[in-house]
Structure 1
């Protein structure tokens, strides 16, 4: 376990829609490392694919330009 918290906290349970996307191998490796760290931090095994929607949602929630358009929920 780490002493600090990750920007992405424990994952909430949500309904999902399947999407497929491609990314560079280096990004996939980083996502896998982040997933491993997330699992150690919060005591729950998670794979990179499960993290991606939560990372994107967090990014969009904090994007001031996106919020300024009024397009967010």
Structure 2
């Protein structure tokens, strides 16, 4: 089993934003969703559902961001 950095996708009340991504990135997100779904594209989460948890994971593991944030009240 592949260990991915992204775990489950929590259902929380979303805040809508608009983000433009490249077609290549969209295809990669679709491929990532399929792997997350055990290799099956059918029933995989939509690529747009992956973006928020990926950003959260990135920010949670960014040591420099955490260091600076601890030093200031952001």
Bin for the TM-score computed over the shorter chain: 0.7 to 0.9
TM-score scaled by length of structure 1: 0.79
Structure with greater Cα Rg: 2
Question: Could you list the runs of 5+ residues in structure 1 that have no partner in the other structure?
Answer: none
Which one scores higher on RCO, CA 8 angstroms, separation ≥ 6?
A: 1
Matches within 5 A, 1:1-73: 3-40=1-38, 45-70=44-69
- Counterpart CA distance in 2 for 1:15 and 1:72 is 25
* CA distance 1:72–1:48, change in 2 (3 Å): farther
| Number of matched pairs | 69
Q: Please list every run of at least 4 consecutive aligned residues from structure 1 whose deviation after the TM superposition is greater than 6 angstroms.
A: none
Q: Aligned-residue CA RMSD in angstroms?
A: 2.2
Normalising by structure 2, what TM-score? 0.78
